Amino acid sequence: MSAPTTNTAASAVCWSCQAASGGEPCCPACGKIQPLPRNTDYFAFFGLPGKLRLDAAELEKRFHQLSWKLHPDNFVCASEYERELSLDRSAQLNDAYRTLRDPIRRVEYLLAREGLRKEGQQKQQAPPELLEEVFELNESLDELRRTRQTGGDGAEMAALRRSLEAAQKNFEEKLAEVDAELDQVSGQWDAALDVSTAFSAGADAAARKKLMTRMNELLNRRSYIRNLVANVQTELAEA
């Protein structure tokens, strides 16, 4: 059987019995598994609003419910088309769950969905207020590499290690500060959704854009600092 055209959730009809399916995983009328409606996002996949502070237990509960319902083992005796739908929806379910259960990936997904964040296009420039600290860190890393290559004495290496470990702790604390602010802005996003159900549809567009822009800036900052920490960890492991 050839795959029927997929509709949006609002207008979806069952490919088998033509009853309104409402975007549900399985048709309420005949129980047949349905294609994922066009433009369905990860939040809608779980029947959740586009909020960033999710109840982890509720998300996991819905994941297990859907996973059981869509599992390929339930469609062993079904048509080839239904088996393909099961595999496709199960794969998308797993992708959605891995994304939404992680607070950072959740924000990244929301911004990508809104067209504000694209893979490989994130800025990796040092934040202006960190330039001096980053410069000092890079100098220490270069000195550690030189000392390692020239076989410097143990006391010199130990001093460099202490300096870099202190720098690593400093940047890890900055990373925690970024995560705390990102969580705060996420709460503001959720509060805006609670104030107006029309918010996500375009109302208060300026406020919405401002929140997303700030989240994007924080993600860029987080990515930069995380890379600094990873570089220090790598160099210390090799020292």
Q: What is the pLDDT of residues 72-126, one digit of tens each?
A: 999 999 999 999 999 999 999 999 999 999 999 999 999 999 888 876 556 667 8
Based on the domain organization, do 173 and 218 belong to the same domain?
A: yes
Answer yes or no: is 2 within a domain. yes
Residue where one domain finishes, among candidates 83, 101, 119: 101
Based on the domain organization, do 82 and 21 belong to the same domain?
A: yes
Answer yes or no: is 96 within a domain. yes
Answer yes or no: is 234 within a domain. yes
Query: Largest Cα–Cα distance in the chain?
Result: 79
Based on the domain organization, do 136 and 232 belong to the same domain?
A: yes
Q: What is the pLDDT of residue 196?
A: 56
Mean pLDDT over 146-151 rounds to 85
Q: What is the pLDDT of residue 197?
A: 53
- The residue range of the domain holding 62 is 1-101
Based on the domain organization, do 54 and 15 belong to the same domain?
A: yes
**DSSP state at residue 116:** S
Is residue 72 a contact partner of residue 87, using CB atoms and an 8 Å limit?
yes
What radius of gyration, in Å, describes the C-alpha atoms of the chain?
24
Based on the domain organization, do 72 and 132 belong to the same domain?
A: no
pLDDT in tens, 55-87: 999 999 999 999 999 999 999 999 999 999 999
Based on the domain organization, do 143 and 179 belong to the same domain?
A: yes
Three-state SS for 172-202 is HHHHHHHHHHHHHHHHHHHHHHHHCCCHHHC
What band does 2 get if pLDDT is binned at 50, 70 and 90? very low
CATH number assigned to the domain comprising residue 57 = 1.10.287.110
Written as one letter, the residue type at 84 is E
Answer yes or no: is 121 within a domain. no
Residue 18 neighbours by CB under 8 Å, 6+ apart: none
Answer yes or no: is 122 within a domain. no
Indicate the helix (H) or strand (E) that contains 23: none
Q: What is the pLDDT of residue 44?
A: 87
Token pair 């009809």 is found at: 13
Answer yes or no: is 55 within a domain. yes
Residue closest to 227 by CA, chosen among 102, 100, 138, 160: 138
How many distinct structural domains can be found in the chain?
Answer: 2
What is the rounded average pLDDT for all residues in the chain? 87
Based on the domain organization, do 146 and 85 belong to the same domain?
A: no
Answer yes or no: is 106 within a domain. no
Q: What is the pLDDT of residue 184?
A: 97
Based on the domain organization, do 148 and 59 belong to the same domain?
A: no
pLDDT at 3 over 50: no
For the chain, strand residue ranges (E) read none
Query: Coil, strand, or helix at residue 93?
Result: helix
Answer yes or no: is 116 within a domain. no
Based on the domain organization, do 20 and 57 belong to the same domain?
A: yes
Based on the domain organization, do 88 and 137 belong to the same domain?
A: no
pTM confidence score: 0.82
pLDDT at 7 over 90: no
